[in-house]
Amino acid sequence: MRTQVVIIGSGPAGLLLGQLLTEAGIDNVILDRASKDHILGRVRAGVLEEGTVGLMDRAKAGSRMHSEGLPHNGFSLTFDGRDHRIDLHELTGGKRVMVYGQTELTRDLMERREAGNAPTIYDADDTCPHDFGGDRPHVTYVKDGISHRIDCDFIAGCDGFHGTSRKAVPEGAIKTFEKIYPFGWLGILSEVAPVSHELIYANHPRGFALCSMRSMTRSRYYIQCPLDEKIEDWSDDRFWDELRRRLPAHHAEALKPAPSFEKSIAPLRSFVAEPMRFGRLFLAGDAAHIVPPTGAKGLNLAASDVHYLFAGLLEHYRDGSDAALDAYSARALARVWKAVRFSWWMTTMMHRFPDTSDFDQKIQEAELDYLTHSKAASTALAENYVGLPY
Ligand code: RFL
Ligand code: PHB
């Protein structure tokens, strides 16, 4: 089998790239080791930057997002028992974010792909990119016990943090940067109206909490927890009780406990691999970088990588120029590092660290006070939260 671009991974990065390529008439095949149901069962990101929204439109997959997604003009930071609204719209001169679940975005892209009969191979085992240092790369995989090979022009490694693409790069050709945080997030989904119509990021002596949503009838809540916490020790009642304690009184009173239908613990990590291009293999999304979810940047970075990679592939096939492909890694990484910095900063400012000294605590309080009382500081937060320009 032969195609122009093999995409490893059917998450947001792979699906978005596949759809943009298909719309531009560039043949591609997506391989994923998981099943379609498994991929659609994952609950992850919830906040889309305008750039991500624009890419969904360009991929002709944005119509449900516009009818069911919730545009948000601001969010709340709470500390010291009080709410401080960050008016994104006002501070950024008219920008906003869209609250729309990653699961729904994934479903929309999959449906669009199926409608266009573009091939996706699910349950592909032992996927491996080969010969990407030369002009004739290929990818091998095993499906139902039978080995297959796809020859191609380019390989896009969109297979997430634990994927095979980054691991296929020779050790000396890649440099990685990592920071592991000493806590995780325990998250639940519940079929109940959100406690507020906007997101609430809460800094509290008992730890961070986040009130988010998937719709006006479905809530997504998180609390900071120790890394060794066991999910089976967290009954719904215990979760609601702990969340309530971390919110200012008026929100705590408005919180309506209801059964959860998803509950999981995610570790927090910052990670970047440099460069993001190795000959004819290009890494995009979580395959190249991870950010803690505090800044809502993971999915949005996957989208901005795809923006740069698609521009490069389009220029290659339409104009016969490799200038944009050659610039891919540097352009993507410049934006990635700014989001890594922002996510690290939000995480540091909003969480309780086990080794926080009295001095560190006072600095955190001063930072929050400054942030919420200085227009310049609030503007910097808002500008990063809505997404830096591509
Ligand atoms: P994905 O979504 O991980 O997709 C990778 C795909 O590759 C497949 N795969 C392989 N396929 C073939 N062969 C292999 N060897 C393979 N190994 C893996 C996988 O099955 C999968 O289908 O990466 P992508 O596309 O780069 O997208 C990135 C986003 O998913 C990620 O950044 C965000 O979800 C991160 N994230 C959040 N981001 C936000 O912007 N806001 C959030 O609120 C937010 N919350 C989260 C998150 C990530 C989480 N986890 C568990 C990683 C909450 C959680 C819990
Ligand atoms: C979510 O809705 O899952 C969500 C929203 C904002 C974040 C992280 C997660 O910063």
pLDDT digits (tens, 9 = 90+) for 114-172: 999 999 999 999 999 999 999 999 999 999 999 999 999 999 999 999 999 999 999 99
Q: pLDDT at position 152, please?
A: 98
Name the average pLDDT for the chain.
Answer: 97
Q: pLDDT at position 271, please?
A: 98
Pocket, ligand 1, Cβ cutoff 6 A:
8-14, 31-34, 39, 44-47, 102, 124, 127, 158-160, 162-164, 266, 285-286, 293, 296-300, 302
Mean pLDDT confidence for 19-31: 98
Domain boundaries, the chain: 5-77+98-177+269-346, 181-265+353-386
Q: Which of 17, 44, 220, 264 to mutate to test the pocket of ligand 1 (most atoms within 8 A of CB)?
A: 44
Q: What is the CATH number of domain 5-77+98-177+269-346?
A: 3.50.50.60
Residue 16: pLDDT above 90? yes
Q: pLDDT at position 146, please?
A: 98
Mean pLDDT confidence for 101-120: 97
Let me know if 293 is a catalytic residue: yes
- pLDDT > 90 fraction of the chain, expressed in percent and rounded: 99
Alpha carbon distance 21, 137 (integer Å): 18
Alpha carbon distance 241, 131 (integer Å): 55
Nearest to 135 by CA among 17, 35, 232, 280: 280
Residue located nearest, by CA, to atom 5 of ligand 2? 46
Instruction: Render pLDDT for 160-173 as a digit per residue (tens, 0 to 9).
Output: 999 999 999 999 99
Instruction: Render pLDDT for 267-293 as a digit per residue (tens, 0 to 9).
Output: 999 999 999 999 999 999 999 999 999
- Does residue 47's CB lie within 6 angstroms of at least one atom of ligand 2? yes
127 CA: nearest ligand 1 atom: 13
Instruction: Render pLDDT for 185-215 as a digit per residue (tens, 0 to 9).
Output: 999 999 999 999 999 999 999 999 999 999 9
CATH architecture for residues 181-265+353-386: 2-Layer Sandwich (3.30)
Residue 43: pLDDT above 90? no
Residue 67: pLDDT above 90? yes
Mean pLDDT confidence for 62-69: 98
If pLDDT is split at 50, 70 and 90, which confidence band does 235 have?
Answer: very high
Residue 296: pLDDT above 90? yes
Q: Which of 100, 141, 181, 201 is catalytic?
A: 201
pTM: 0.97
Instruction: Render pLDDT for 349-371 as a digit per residue (tens, 0 to 9).
Output: 999 999 999 999 999 999 999 99
Query: How many Å separate Cα 142 from the centre of its chain?
Result: 28
